[in-house]
Amino acid sequence: MADKKTWQRVLFIGDSLTRGYDVPYGKGWVELLQAHFEKNITANGGSKPMLVNAGVDGATLQAIYNNLERALHEASYDAVVIMGGTNDILHGRNAEDCYFSLMRSVHHIQKAGSDVIIGLAPQIDCDLDGDDAVLVDYNERLRTYCEEQGLLYIDFYKKIAEADYRGEILYAGDVHPNELGYHYMYEAARDVLKSGFGGM
């Protein structure tokens, strides 16, 4: 789990699912988190937190590692939320390869002294190629690692799948959520990350 320090600077790094593709700025889950924590923390006399969205459309796990390395060289962060792998899976990589690729980034974050929070990517909708089964395997490996190491993780897959099962329309395409889908992602992230922001 995250230690007892309160986060002031948090980096969010990943692909288009982190960036907030397909919705207006401010409707992505990271921007919704920024608005939520900024409002609640400043209302209680705290200083405004900085949430930096470094999601890049189309980024593979290698690109995410490169972006992470650059971001941590340029600035320090109390915590880093990392999610990726969907683009790799869509290009045919298996769960094991994706897992070890993400672990490279996780270890880099830990070496920098930041708390690590891993995002479990949401399901691949309308999947005809079996990619979602690979994503499930990959996410399960990440979940097991987090539970064994005592790391925080955000289960976006479960949150979106539950709403999808209820018949809610959550996707703007096969991979990217619509505004409602991103709102559910925000809720999942908020509930996990609030401990690092003093429980706000």
Helix (H) or strand (E) holding 51: strand 50-55
Q: What is the mean pLDDT of the chain?
A: 95
4, 76, 97, 121, 155 from 101: Cα distances, Å? 29, 22, 6, 15, 19
Structure tokens at 50: 């900085």
Quick: pLDDT tens for 37-66: 999 999 988 899 999 999 999 999 999 999
Judged against a pLDDT cut of 80, whether residue 29 lies above it is answered with yes
Domains of the chain, first to last: 9-197 (3.40.50.1110)
Judged against a pLDDT cut of 80, whether residue 80 lies above it is answered with yes
d(CA 56, CA 179): 18
Taking Cα atoms as reference points, which of 194, 197, 96, 76 lies closest to residue 141?
Answer: 96
Q: 62 — phi, psi (to 5°)?
A: -65, -45
pLDDT band at 200 (very low <50, low <70, confident <90, very high): confident
115 contacts 2 by C-beta, under 8 angstroms: yes
d(CA 70, CA 106): 14
Q: Look at the pTM and tell me if it is higher than 0.85.
A: yes
Structure tokens at 138: 């990959």
Percent of the chain with pLDDT over 90: 88
User: What residue spans of the chain are helical by DSSP H?
Assistant: 16-19, 29-43, 61-74, 86-90, 95-111, 131-149, 156-165, 179-193
User: What average pLDDT does this structure show over 115-130?
Assistant: 90
pLDDT band at 3 (very low <50, low <70, confident <90, very high): very low
Fill in the amino acid letter for 84. Answer: G
pLDDT band at 2 (very low <50, low <70, confident <90, very high): very low
